Amino acid sequence: MEHKPQTYAASMKGSRGIKRIIKALGYSADGVRSACEEQGFRQLLWIHAVLFAGLFFADFTLPVKMILVLVSAMSIVVELINTGLEAAVDHTSEEMHVLAKKAKDVGSAAQYTTLAALAVLWMMALTG
């Protein structure tokens, strides 16, 4: 019987229990570090840092603060996904292709929608 070398994907599977959780945390940390190499992600983190700081000085109720934190976190998650999507598209091909453009545009639209929701919620919170 012929033995096939494991692919990278196959070598990442099969861990169970705490070992799997520890590996997953490492992959997540790698993902955040990778995203931090992108200027857009760093800018987004600064925006949210300012917004989080603003929450300490704003006289909002706890539920309002919780909603604003949740939508900020959602924006960061969407940007992480968008960054991964763009990396996957670029890995596939850096040539212009209608589907590559569509994938990147949809990822960008997801982030825009999240930021628009965040802006609306902040305006609602500030105007009471």
Annotated binding site for substrate: 20, 79, 108
Q: Which of 2, 37, 79, 94 is catalytic?
A: 79
Active site residue 79: yes
The helix-helix angle for 17-36 and 39-57 (nearest 10°) equals 100
Decide: 82 and 108 in contact? Cβ < 8 Å.
yes
Binding residues for a divalent metal cation: 38, 86
Summarize the annotated binding site for ATP as residue ranges.
20, 27, 38, 86, 95-97, 104-105
Catalytic residues: 79
